[in-house]
Structure 1
């Protein structure tokens, strides 16, 4: 590999990964155009351009370390707010429509696979990634791409399609409350209460969500230290179960695949800890911020091996696949909301939380639906948990 920066230039490559992730976040929070594109796409495109110009290498031990260490830590930190008891108590009604919306994503992934099978390489792996992403978010996408060992160029092309469809769908969801069809067929009490409220002038959706918080040195120490402990324990458990569970028949083989998957065990262990010791984990300042930043580093890395030619060849069909998943998620969510008499705002936020994760569920903040803000944030966080389970189930079912 001939590149300006060699694959063994560890410090320079880490500087690029961490620096470009930081720049992507700054741009997303400072400029509306960047917020609409999303920081994830900015992170990916920067790496894609530099790797195709042969400024950075397409392979390096540094990138491998991101997959091995950064991604598991990011997933763990992002799950610290996931207290299952609190989610059910405060968000029971929203939880139901969210589960129905998640089922829509799974159905969409399976339908998309059946329609495009044989036309897109590694489609089962893509279906697993998109199931995780369109139920939880970027952390689940990262977990599924690592769990199924998907080639980097396929991952990169999928991210482009994923984020493009996600952005377009958000515009639709934002516009739905003003559409006469939906106003006519759904109750919309929160829209009636604060109709027309927008994000404050000078802010983007991202900066509105990521406001300044008081974070102490102790918070950072406990967040990072506990995340390392949980990942270490979880990977040890996964390794033990993988070796202990035989694969002598199909049932045991599936059980071995599920329980031996480190990402599934990390998700489960973190969820249990966050629920039992909720006072400790929910009060750790900085965990969500650190976890999100680490996920941005992941987005930089997946842009590195991307071949522009491959993206041009693969993205159109991947875009169709993502469109099928999003469309069926929307249809299932709104049809079920109508049948079971959910409000329009609840349907919008449930689908929004599924497709974009808890950070994009901040739409409730931008719309001024104050009574729904806390519940949908909790529900969106739950997506981090079930997204991994659903992604692995769909991926293994389709293979």
Structure 2
């Protein structure tokens, strides 16, 4: 069957719409849009509505090459490093301790499974992906996956994503009870942030006109071109610097400009691009490949579970020594494991409005730091 590119794009766009609608208006609201769009992509691809991995379209290659890196760029434009001081020393210390725990967790958990059998030659990139995502969110996960093209192993990729979503959801529940439980074991007075908790810092919708949209798209396209050019240039010099890493660095530099921060549309374009990319990832998940992964499902789940448990043990142990505020510890851990959005939700859930902005800012730090740590772990393991 011949699939026209415009037809494939139509279906992919609709899947993004459908996943968002289902998550907002049905019982599926307990499933993240990111996971749901992968599932929907897998369903329609296996039903033959759109091409699967074995009959991949050039449309998919374009999404992998341009749309996915663009999503990372746009989302990172919201990382204002100058405002991180508002998170306060306690939050930043707890967050960095959690990041160190994640690194330790990835390297240790890898030894608990037969990683060369479970992940094959992709074990090092996958370890880097997990180090990235459990430092600050899925943008880091996608950055490492894109560079090493792990997404082309659709079933393995989806298996890791599913395990990640399960553990993240469980850890959200765990961190909700963490301040209460730990405060009984070792009471500690609250550390109140000076930030304005009532400020709206996490808008889901943006208003953007044609001029601003054109400017944002131009900035993204220029940055993608510059990152690829500099990557090729560095390769000629024998350095082999990944274009995604260059893209991340450029985005973080641009994000420090007040003028760039005031441009609307970055978050909107970033999230839409992420969902479009994940829909294509789902399309790469053929039933036969998913059956093959089934034999390693337990190992994948064990791997992700142990990363989080070691992260938690390291962070809680260090927090006992430094006598940290347990609410800050819980929010910082969520900023590591789930990113800014889950950290924000946790701060609201434990009725610590003073930690709302610090949660977002710590999550923003993770969005920038995670990509670097992900590549570091992958490199250490020989990727």
TM-score (structure 2 length as normaliser): 0.88
1:272 to 253, 263, 270: 253
Q: How is 1:194-209 mapped onto 2 (pairs within 5 angstroms)?
A: none
- 2:195 is aligned to none
**Are positions 1:100 and 2:97 aligned together?**
yes
- 1:344 is aligned to 326
- 2:196 is aligned to none
Tell me the distance in 1 between the aligned counterparts of 2:245 and 2:49.
36
- 1:324 is aligned to 306
Q: How is 1:165-314 mapped onto 2 (pairs within 5 angstroms)?
A: 165-179=167-181, 181-187=182-188, 189=190, 210-245=203-238, 256-257=239-240, 260-275=241-256, 277=257, 279-306=258-285, 307-314=289-296
* Structure 2 CA distance for partners of 1:219 and 1:333, relative to 1, 3 Å: farther
| Count of matched residue pairs | 362
Q: How is 1:378-389 mapped onto 2 (pairs within 5 angstroms)?
A: 378-389=361-372
1:54 to 48, 52, 64: 48
Query: Alpha-carbon deviation of 1:286?
Result: 2.4
* Structure 2 CA distance for partners of 1:93 and 1:239, relative to 1, 3 Å: farther
* Structure 2 CA distance for partners of 1:124 and 1:222, relative to 1, 3 Å: same
Q: Which ranges of 4 or more aligned residues in structure 1 deviate by more than 6 Å?
A: none
**Are positions 1:376 and 2:377 aligned together?**
no
Deviations 1:122-168 (A, max 9, x none): 32221111111111212111111111122222211111111111111
Question: Structure 2 regions of 5+ residues with no counterpart?
Answer: 193-200
What SS does the aligned partner of 1:187 have?
coil
Query: Alpha-carbon deviation of 1:209?
Result: 5.5
* Structure 2 CA distance for partners of 1:86 and 1:126, relative to 1, 3 Å: same
Tell me the distance in 2 between the aligned counterparts of 1:213 and 1:304.
29
Tell me the distance in 2 between the aligned counterparts of 1:48 and 1:182.
44
Tell me the distance in 2 between the aligned counterparts of 1:185 and 1:119.
43
What SS does the aligned partner of 2:103 have?
helix
* Structure 2 CA distance for partners of 1:45 and 1:212, relative to 1, 3 Å: closer
Tell me the distance in 2 between the aligned counterparts of 1:139 and 1:89.
23
Tell me the distance in 1 between the aligned counterparts of 2:139 and 2:90.
25
* Structure 2 CA distance for partners of 1:371 and 1:53, relative to 1, 3 Å: same
* Structure 2 CA distance for partners of 1:131 and 1:53, relative to 1, 3 Å: same
Query: Alpha-carbon deviation of 1:383?
Result: 1.1
What SS does the aligned partner of 2:48 have?
coil
Deviations 1:290-348 (A, max 9, x none): 20121111221111122330332232211110001111111122222222222111111
- 1:19 is aligned to 14
Tell me the distance in 1 between the aligned counterparts of 2:376 and 2:205.
38
With 145-154 and 344-353 compared, the bigger mean Cα shift is at 145-154
Aligned-residue CA RMSD in angstroms?
2.2
Question: Structure 1 regions of 5+ residues with no counterpart?
Answer: 192-207, 246-255
TM-score (structure 1 length as normaliser): 0.85
